[in-house]
Chain A
Amino acid sequence: MASTPLKRTSLYDVHRAAGARIVEFGGWEMPVQYAGIVAEHHAVRTAAGLFDVSHMGEVEIVGPGALESVQRLVTNDASRLTPGGGLYSPMCLPSGGIIDDLTVFRLHSDRFLLVVNATRTERDFRWIAEHTRAATARNRSAELALLALQGPKAETILGRLTGADLTQLASFHLAEGMEVAGLACLVARTGYTGENGFEIACEWDAAPVLWRALVDAGSPDGLVPAGLGARDTLRLEAGYMLYGNDIDETTTPLEAPLGWTIKFEKGEFIGREALLAQKERGAVRKLVGFEMMERAVPRHGYAVLAGGRPTGQVTSGTFGPWVRKSIGMGYVARECAAVGTPLQVDIRGRPTGAKVVKLPFYKRMAETGKPGNEETRPRVG
């Protein structure tokens, strides 16, 4: 199908040598799994996993108008960020539809770094460049590799490779120029798994050295390489949106559970009028999390019914390897969005029982650093 050749990260050969199964994702050849999705998922919940996410895009906005440009582009409020601070935000069309969801870091007062989805990098960059005033947008995606080190052991492992005091790096904060395994890196305490962890950017060609150093430092603690398969099951348990599945240009942050990222009071931003109007009249559909009453797995695109009548579609679904339940997310009519509402998912023609539950499906116990749900998690065997 692809009319252009597939792209590879600088870690492609490392993944192949490690026995990864490679799949196409958004124009990239990426590892979907090494030992297996469930094993990798459990390693991240109990020890650590290392992901290659170099396919993600990075866009820098620099200049005296950088803050004003970022404020116009995203719904969240970047003015409250001090250098080193970051936030999560949708970037919307005037209609309120979501162009992408991204992480915004303030590197300096007039310099921002936006980390965007791989599948949206080109679309995002054109949009950002078009709406940047008195600042310059630069696409750094081809020069920066990105690794995600995630799990309760992530901090211990990274600590072995750097002299920096990681306890000083708060959640959603970034340190520029941190030396890791002798390489100058951008290190952020962020992730997409529901665990404590870091996302580490380095020069594109330096990634294999960084990867091997992290694998060597982490193996004694149970670190394993993890692929996009586990990344997807981990993020779904953690209730995070996947762009292209759960949110896109036809859905708004108010329909998705992202209303908290819209800061109407900050002033003008693209999409503000449409979102304000939608907020006033109330979104007619809502994205909810649901769990199945049996093991049959809800998949993207399956119809969701309420009382036998179609009410929406599944946007993401899987069997949650840690919560040990079939779980999913999807848009339903707002009357059906309350926690506890019984739903049915049409699985191969059979309406299969489900019920709306509160997101996320999994939450770690941040205070103790121990995995959550340990006491309530059903066990098999």
Chain B
Amino acid sequence: MYPKDLRYSSEHEWVRVEDGRVRVGITRFAADRLTDVVFVELPAVGAKVTFMQPFGVVESVKAVSDLYAPLSGTVVEVNPALVDSPEVVNSDPYGKGWMIVVQPDDLGELERLMPVDQYLVAIGEAAP
């Protein structure tokens, strides 16, 4: 449910470090709370994103939610599959449901994100 090799934000995004870049998506917890994702609005390649500032929007049948950047940097890839199959955010949030890849300004910013055990406590799925 919550891979150990990822780091997590308080706004329920995950990041995976891949050769100095980071891949970003939303957690199983967020996907379950949203339910039935039907539309994802993402920035264009080249856009700047800022730590804990909105970078996009995810819409479920019922509601609209902002996506918050888990770190600052430049968008270098956007998941094209989400245009026609946004439901993969629900079915495979850590795989096919990824959202953007960012070239971070400062990888040190990752220290501001939570390891999995801390995130589980934050969402009430583990005892503090």
Known: A299-B64, A319-B61, A380-B85. A36 touches B35 (CB 8 A): yes
Q: In the complex, which residue of chain A has the Cβ closest to the Cβ of B84?
A: A380
B59 near A319 with CB under 8 A, answer: yes
**Residues on B with beta carbons closer than 8 Å to the beta carbon of A36:** 35-36
CA–CA, A319 to B59, complex, Å? Answer: 9
B39 near A296 with CB under 8 A, answer: yes
Q: In the complex, which residue of chain B has the Cβ closest to the Cβ of A229?
A: B62
**Residues on B with beta carbons closer than 8 Å to the beta carbon of A380:** 84-85
B35 near A297 with CB under 8 A, answer: no
Interface mask (A294-330 → B, CB under 8 Å = 1, otherwise 0): 0111010000000000000000001101000010000
B39 near A295 with CB under 8 A, answer: yes
Does residue A37 face the partner (Cβ distance < 8 Å to B)?
Answer: yes
A297 near B64 with CB under 8 A, answer: yes
Does residue A267 face the partner (Cβ distance < 8 Å to B)?
Answer: no
Does residue B97 face the partner (Cβ distance < 8 Å to A)?
Answer: no
**Residues on B with beta carbons closer than 8 Å to the beta carbon of A233:** 61
CA–CA, A7 to B84, complex, Å? Answer: 41
**Residues on B with beta carbons closer than 8 Å to the beta carbon of A333:** none
**Residues on B with beta carbons closer than 8 Å to the beta carbon of A59:** none
**Residues on B with beta carbons closer than 8 Å to the beta carbon of A348:** 41, 57
CA–CA, A349 to B83, complex, Å? Answer: 20
CA–CA, A211 to B35, complex, Å? Answer: 25
A295 near B61 with CB under 8 A, answer: no
Does residue B78 face the partner (Cβ distance < 8 Å to A)?
Answer: no
Does residue A139 face the partner (Cβ distance < 8 Å to B)?
Answer: no
**Residues on A with beta carbons closer than 8 Å to the beta carbon of B64:** 297, 299
Does residue A129 face the partner (Cβ distance < 8 Å to B)?
Answer: no
CA–CA, A37 to B39, complex, Å? Answer: 15
Chain B, interface residues (CB within 8 Å), range: 10 to 19
B61 near A37 with CB under 8 A, answer: yes
Q: In the complex, which residue of chain A has the Cβ closest to the Cβ of B86?
A: A295
CA–CA, A319 to B41, complex, Å? Answer: 15
CA–CA, A348 to B38, complex, Å? Answer: 16
Picked from A33, A295, A299, the residue with its CB within 8 Å of the CB of B35 is: A33
A295 near B85 with CB under 8 A, answer: no
B61 near A229 with CB under 8 A, answer: yes
Interface mask (A1-39 → B, CB under 8 Å = 1, otherwise 0): 000000000000000000000000000000011001110
Does residue A220 face the partner (Cβ distance < 8 Å to B)?
Answer: no
B61 near A38 with CB under 8 A, answer: yes
**Residues on A with beta carbons closer than 8 Å to the beta carbon of B84:** 380
CA–CA, A37 to B41, complex, Å? Answer: 21
CA–CA, A348 to B35, complex, Å? Answer: 21
CA–CA, A299 to B57, complex, Å? Answer: 14
Picked from A296, A321, A381, the residue with its CB within 8 Å of the CB of B61 is: A321
CA–CA, A38 to B85, complex, Å? Answer: 14
Interface mask (A349-381 → B, CB under 8 Å = 1, otherwise 0): 000000000000000000000000000000011
A326 near B62 with CB under 8 A, answer: no
Q: In the complex, which residue of chain A has the Cβ closest to the Cβ of B40?
A: A295
- Within the complex, the shortest CB–CB distance from B22 to chain A, in Å, comes to 25
CA–CA, A381 to B91, complex, Å? Answer: 14
Q: In the complex, which residue of chain A has the Cβ closest to the Cβ of B64?
A: A299
**Residues on B with beta carbons closer than 8 Å to the beta carbon of A229:** 61-62
CA–CA, A318 to B39, complex, Å? Answer: 11
Interface mask (B82-93 → A, CB under 8 Å = 1, otherwise 0): 011110000000
B62 near A32 with CB under 8 A, answer: yes
CA–CA, A218 to B41, complex, Å? Answer: 39
CA–CA, A381 to B86, complex, Å? Answer: 11
B85 near A296 with CB under 8 A, answer: no
Q: In the complex, which residue of chain B has the Cβ closest to the Cβ of A324?
A: B38
Interface mask (B47-70 → A, CB under 8 Å = 1, otherwise 0): 000000000010101101000000
- Within the complex, the shortest CB–CB distance from A284 to chain B, in Å, comes to 31
User: Chain A CB within 10 Å — which of B38, B39, B59, B84 has the most?
Assistant: B38
Known: A32-B62, A319-B59. A296 touches B35 (CB 8 A): no
Q: Which of B8-63 contact A (CB under 8 A)?
A: 35-36, 38-39, 41, 57, 59, 61-62
Q: Would you list 22 pairs from A and B whose C-beta atoms are within 8 A, ordered by A residue?
A: A36-B35, A37-B36, A37-B62, A38-B61, A229-B61, A229-B62, A233-B61, A295-B38, A295-B86, A296-B41, A296-B59, A297-B39, A297-B59, A319-B38, A319-B39, A319-B59, A319-B61, A321-B36, A326-B39, A348-B57, A380-B84, A381-B85
Q: Contacts A295-B83, A321-B36 known; list 9 others, CB within 8 Å.
A: A33-B35, A296-B41, A297-B38, A297-B39, A319-B39, A319-B61, A348-B41, A348-B57, A380-B84
- List 3 A-B pairs, minimum CB-CB distance, nearest first: A319-B38, A295-B39, A38-B36
